[in-house]
A = this chain, B = another copy of it.
């Protein structure tokens, strides 16, 4: 893992008036570029050659400048550093460049790159969730399965390849890999609240080390399970799958906001105990039971795709900001504020 000081050194060399926001043209890039444009920050899109046309189709969402590539195998760090770029590591960025690149690159990244390592390892993630004081689904080994469980295999990207099993026998029949995670199936409604933690801001949910802002909420839409009720009622057999293909919006009962903010607070407090703190956008993936208790089954230590529902703000940001504010815009605001206060090192690593 590259040292925090080394990134701080790179940042020192940056022309603070020419800072740019860069990311891969995928995932939440339109939102990130759109938000940066609203704040007057120039953007750079690392883009597959045949995807440029797609981004050009959105004049207010496309980057100001492209770095066209044939594949995402190599991060153009030198070029980006020369352009005073701060990378926003969204989900595809993390997936395409991979753990190794992200841990070693000299390119400054928004947030704490350590958090990406912690979200990326199932063991670390569970340690983090538990240390955060969150209720988590029970974990099983294949032999001890005694109730419905979700099995996530290691290769499973975006939910593709998840499976539900209820017994050791069913596990044996269905799971052929050796790298898996078995989690109790919790009945309820999935909720994906999006947060932003800022060590600079003083508005929002006040914490010792900064301020926690509730940005929005989504639920993921997964093919085929999301419309499986249609097959069920028609008597059509269907092996459910969990490939995330989109997102839909919702609000929760106002009285549940307390529990949700406290979950976010726990995640942040723990991140400081475990690895120097998480800053910027994150999401705590939860299930709300019929007793209105939340079980957390994942943390995303970065901007999540569900925020794409809200490029002009969400029901929650109406109560927090004077202007329509997406998570993408909030990132740009944080970078501007940090640059002004000469505290970039606190929100970028």
A54 interface neighbour in B148, B205, B213, Cβ under 8 Å: B205
CB-based contact A214/B57 at 8 Å: yes
Q: How far is the CA of A123 from the CA of B243 in the complex (A)?
A: 33
Q: A230-B228, A290-B241, A292-B245 are in contact. Are A254 and B28 (CB under 8 A)?
A: yes
CB-based contact A318/B34 at 8 Å: yes
Copies of chain A in the complex: 3
Q: A250-B246, A305-B254 are in contact. Are A60 and B185 (CB under 8 A)?
A: no
CB-based contact B243/A233 at 8 Å: no
A322 beta carbon closer than 8 Å to chain B: yes
1/0 per residue A307-324: CB within 8 Å of B? 011111101101111100
CB-based contact B318/A224 at 8 Å: no
State how many angstroms separate the Cβ of A303 from the closest Cβ of chain B.
12
A320 interface neighbour in B53, B59, B191, B249, Cβ under 8 Å: B59
A160 beta carbon closer than 8 Å to chain B: yes
List chain B residues, Cβ under 8 A from A229.
225, 228-229, 232-233
CB-based contact B187/A238 at 8 Å: yes
State how many angstroms separate the Cβ of A114 from the closest Cβ of chain B.
26
Q: A61-B319, A225-B233, A319-B58 are in contact. Are A191 and B248 (CB under 8 A)?
A: no
Q: A59-B203, A61-B318 are in contact. Are A27 and B221 (CB under 8 A)?
A: no
Q: A189-B245, A229-B232, A254-B30 are in contact. Are A60 and B238 (CB under 8 A)?
A: no
CB-based contact B256/A224 at 8 Å: no
CB-based contact B241/A53 at 8 Å: no
In residues 31-49 of chain A, which contact B (Cβ within 8 Å)?
34
List chain B residues, Cβ under 8 A from A305.
253-254
List chain B residues, Cβ under 8 A from A221.
189, 250
In residues 153-204 of chain A, which contact B (Cβ within 8 Å)?
158, 160, 164, 166, 185, 187-191, 203-204
State how many angstroms separate the Cβ of A147 from the closest Cβ of chain B.
9
> Can you name 14 extra interface pairs (CB under 8 A) apart from A223-B288, A249-B309?
A56-B205, A56-B206, A59-B319, A60-B318, A92-B255, A164-B234, A166-B236, A185-B236, A188-B223, A188-B224, A229-B229, A233-B240, A242-B290, A311-B319
